[in-house]
Amino acid sequence: MEFQAKLENIKKRIEGNMPPSYLQVMHRATHDLEQSGIQDKVLKVGDKAPEFELVNQNGETVSSTDLLSKGKLVLTFYRGVWCPYCNADLANLKKYVPEIEGANAMMVGISPELPQYLKKIITMQRLNFDILHDEKNALAAQFGLKFFYPEDLKTLYRDKFNINLEVQQGNNEWALPMPARFVIDQDGVIQYAESKPDYRDRPDPDELLETLQNLSTQTIKS
């Protein structure tokens, strides 16, 4: 509950001082995304996870094949270093890395931001895991997470919030992934999946950790 209280405080701090016209644009965009049916397209438990080769914050190539040869894989998709909810979520998740690794798994972040911005959020939050650059949200699209900003939200972010996704991502798509987490077993099958159209909603990782523990128990028994 401590993490949920932190998210609620972030929401109050940001939205409590924001003009109603800004909130209207933001809340309408979130509502429209929720109503778009995007959740129905997200990969689910039992689906085969897409394979990938992406570069990390240091420009090094990382492949899912190599990662899965060492153990299970936890993917967490996030929006960017400019998003306070993403910062809070990643800072919370880093606390559980020892538990994740104890279950023979590795966690990596996935973001459309360029490597220099990935490195920035790692430094800011003192993260203990890699973040991979998903160019033009290509991997996010394969997972069913990619969506595009409506024009009024794009204008609000760029002109009022001074957040320019063209600079952060190196393209003019103005697209993002829905925040999401997946657990992938060593056969490449998704064993846990959650995603949220409302970027302010970030669950505690209890169910994710329970999934990892159950998979470890099954491995020991077999």
Residue ranges covered by each domain of the chain:
2-221
pLDDT by 10s per residue, the chain, length 222: 699 999 999 999 999 989 999 999 999 999 999 999 999 999 999 999 999 999 999 999 999 999 999 999 999 999 999 999 999 999 999 999 999 999 999 999 999 999 999 999 999 999 999 999 999 999 999 999 999 999 999 999 999 999 999 999 999 999 999 999 999 999 999 999 999 999 999 999 999 999 999 998 775 554
Q: Are 132 and 62 in contact (CB under 8 A)?
A: yes
- Rounded Cα gap, residues 110 and 133, in angstroms: 6
Q: Which CATH class is domain 2-221?
A: alpha beta
- pLDDT tens for residues 71-116? 999 999 999 999 999 999 999 999 999 999 999 999 999 999 999 9
**DSSP class per residue in 56-119:** ETTS-EEEHHHHHTTSEEEEEE---TT-HHHHHHHHHHGGGHHHHHHTTEEEEEEESS-HHHHH
